Structure formats: structure tokens, C-alpha cells
Structure 1
Amino acid sequence: MQNLWDISQPVAPGTPVFPGDTPYQQQWAAKLGPGCPVNVSTLTLSPHVGAHADAPLHYDPEGASIGLVDLAPYLGRCRVIHAIARGPLVTWEHIAHAVHDLPPRVLVRTYARMPVDRWDPMLTAYAPETIERLADAGVRLVGIDTASIDPAESKTLDSHQVIRRRNLRVLENLVLDDVPEGDYELIALPLKLMTADASPVRAVLRSLPPP
């Protein structure tokens, strides 16, 4: 029996978003009752709420929307690496213990417990040099358990620009609290939103079958 880890942040009213971004809201367009056989909701949200995949369009004016990106990076073998409470940036030294024979996807855990109920202005991000070295090692997707691969106050988005230049994909706001270091199968498919700059994902990890 394969184990399954749900690494998606809960999405509901009150789920934290980047300051100034659109929070999750839900209204009822129809409700069960006399003359109405169903409940139908209307959702208003940023595509960056909860666990999500950034599209190249998010950080490149000529980049592809999330509905046009190849799905292959979001599905397959990945490695979870712990770099818990190591400061503002994940450097190569923080993950060097686990970079031997890397699979094409790397997810880094920085929190002991992810703050799913509040915005963290001191979130840990990737050092751009770390992403460069991961790309050099053949990694095609990077993920993190914070809201951004760049510091919250960054205006230059240096790590996003490495992602753009090296044609990598990114997952943010993952919940890795209960996931041991090691290799897994990642399943985190974005929605086919043809004009959007990101998409929520239901991100899960499955244990790999025995060799």
C-alpha cells in the first residue's frame, strides 16, 4: 500500500494571501430548497491562493499562461529536502546533504509548522544561486512551503528571474510539515486556465514503490 501525503494548504475565507492580493471569497448563486435541486457557489480568488503553480506569465510579460504550459514537470519523481529555520534564503549549503543524484523535482521544507492561518512577512525564499545550481543538476521544477521563492519585500524577484531564464516551473505554499526527507512521486497539476498567470493545485505526494 502506497502512502499519500496531501501537501495542499486549506483554502477558505481567511486563508492568507500576499498583501494586496485578492482573498478567497465564496457566495451562493443557488441553494438547495423548494424549486432548486442543487447548491451552486460563486468563487472570487487570486490564482495564487493556497498551493499553486506560477505560470511564466506571472514574471515574464511574454510568458505562457498556466493553461499553455507542459504538464510533465508537475507529475513524477521528486525529492523533499529539509532546510528548516535556516534564515531568509535557502542556500546551497542548506540542501547540500541531499543533492546526490537529484530527480527532476525538488521541494524544500523551511517551516517546522507552516502558518496556514496567517501571512508571514519573514518567509524564507530561495537564493537565486541555489536555483541556478539546481537547474545545472537537471532539476525542472522547484517548490517551497512559503508563499514565494523570493523574499516578500523583493521588487526584482531574482529567483523568479532565474526560473524564467532557465525555463523551470515553480510550486509555492506547499505544506510539508509531516513529510520526511526523501524521494516521492509528485502530483500537482494546474488547472487549464488559458489566460491566467497561475493556478491553484491539489498537490499530493505518494511513496515510491519498492525497487
Structure 2
Amino acid sequence: MQIYDVTVPVHPRMPVYPGDPPVVLEPRAQLSKGDPANVCYCGMGTHTGTHVDAPFHFIETGRKLHEIPLNIMVGRARVVEVTARKIDVDTLSRLDLGEHIRVLFKTRNSQLWQQETFNPDYVFITPEAAAKLVADGIKLVGIDYLSVEEYGSTTFATHIELLSNGVVILEGLDLRAVDAGDYELICLPLKLMDSDGAPARVILRG
């Protein structure tokens, strides 16, 4: 069985969503300076790189990260490849999601990880498509850039549609090395108490 690491490496030069904290990795103790061990300070936002959004991200009374059941984030998932510039209802009508409750969208976004600056021209999911995913029983939606939302949105309707209906959002995947098909998803976000989200290590096995 092959293992695909679809997690974006975390480093200070990586793109982050505008307004989010930058990544900081600083040595605080170094063997080369006579310290007994190497120790780094790590600072970043909860929505850095490959990460999970909890409902609390956009809903004040929503479930927080540590309250999301792991059985939603671990299990069979379908990777679907989309060439459209946005994922709308028409796009979904041409996809076969089968009986899966977890769907990962592979788009041209994955190529954007070659850039060190944020690119606002990414493929997103429309609110109407989000509603259809909810109606179809999807419980986890993944996408290969930093947001499922259209850049510049002021209503955040896609996020709210998904999160208010208990759908886990997995953003920031790197699916360049993965073909469309069925896999076992293992998504383990940092167990940050009372958080709106957290970076995650995500692998696919198939």
C-alpha cells in the first residue's frame, strides 16, 4: 500500500492567507552554541498550511476543534480532479462521489504551492455547491489551497454553509502527486483546546 503525504511543509517563506500570522521558526537553544540541545520556537496561525477548520472558526457557538470526532477525519475518501476555475453546482453534477462522505478536490491550486507568495486567483467552492455537498451527505470537504471561499468574500457563505451543518473543512492540501480515486484519509490536526482550527498532518493510503 502506497502512502501519500499531502501535507504542505511549514516554513517561514510559505504563503499564508492575507491577514494571518506569518510562520516563525527560531532557534532558542543550539548545540553549536554550547546549549545541551537544539530547541526552536514555533509560531504560526491556526490556519497555516494544511489545516482543519472547526465550526467555531465562523460560528460563535460552533463546535471547537477538540470537539470534532476523529472518525470524521479518518476513513475512506474520494479524490476528484476538477479543471474548472470554480467548483459550482454544475461542476458537482459531472462528478461521481459514490457513497463517500469525504471528498477532496484536486484542482490547479496544487500548482500554487510552488509559489512563496499568496495567490488570490485560486479555485474555490461556491455557496450553492456547498449546500449541495451538505444535501448529498458529505461530512468532510478538502481543497488544495488555503480557503474553500472565494477570495474577497465578505459573507463567508461557503464556510458558514459547511460548518453550520457539521461538515469538516480541510484546507491547504497538496495533491500534486495524487491521482483521482479512492483512498484512506488520515487527518490528524494538533489537539488545540478551544481552538477555531489547527494545522494537520494529512496522509492518503491507497
SS at the partner of 2:93? helix
Q: Which runs of structure 2 are paired with 1:56-71 in the superposition (5 Å)?
A: 56-71=55-70
1:110 to 87, 96, 107: 107
- Residue 93 (structure 1) aligned with residue 90 (structure 2): yes
What whole-Å deviation, never above 9, does each CA across 1:163-208 have from its counterpart, x for those lacking one? Answer: 123111000010111211111000111111002211101111000x
Deviation at 1:34, TM superposition (A): 6.8
Aligned residues: 204
Structure 1 residues 80 and 200: alpha-carbon distance in aligned structure 2, compared to 1, 3 A threshold: same
Deviation at 1:102, TM superposition (A): 3.1
Measured in 2, the distance between the counterparts of 1:147 and 1:114 equals 13
**Conserved 8 A contact 2:52-2:170:** yes
Between the aligned residues of both structures, percent identity stands at 34
- Residue 149 (structure 1) aligned with residue 148 (structure 2): yes
Length-normalised TM-score, structure 2: 0.93
Measured in 2, the distance between the counterparts of 1:177 and 1:109 equals 8
Measured in 2, the distance between the counterparts of 1:4 and 1:64 equals 31
Measured in 2, the distance between the counterparts of 1:191 and 1:143 equals 17
Measured in 1, the distance between the counterparts of 2:118 and 2:154 equals 18
- 1:188 aligned partner: 187
**Conserved 8 A contact 1:7-1:174:** yes
Gaps of 5+ in 1: none
SS at the partner of 2:188? coil
Q: Quick one: which amino acid aligns to residue 121 of structure 2?
A: M
- 1:130 aligned partner: 129
- 1:26 aligned partner: 25
Deviation at 1:113, TM superposition (A): 4.2
Structure 1 residues 75 and 9: alpha-carbon distance in aligned structure 2, compared to 1, 3 A threshold: same
Q: Give structure 1 regions of 4+ aligned residues with deviation exceeding 4 angstroms.
A: none
Deviation at 1:64, TM superposition (A): 2.3
Deviation at 1:35, TM superposition (A): 5.5
Measured in 2, the distance between the counterparts of 1:135 and 1:12 equals 34
Measured in 2, the distance between the counterparts of 1:133 and 1:44 equals 37
- 1:166 aligned partner: 165
Q: Quick one: which amino acid aligns to residue 155 of structure 1?
A: T
What whole-Å deviation, never above 9, does each CA across 1:111-166 have from its counterpart, x for those lacking one? Answer: 16421222111111111222222222221000101211111201101111111231
Gaps of 5+ in 2: none
Q: Quick one: which amino acid aligns to residue 146 of structure 1?
A: Y
The CA RMSD over aligned residues, in Å, is 1.6
Structure 1 residues 100 and 201: alpha-carbon distance in aligned structure 2, compared to 1, 3 A threshold: closer
**Conserved 8 A contact 1:126-1:149:** yes
Length-normalised TM-score, structure 1: 0.91
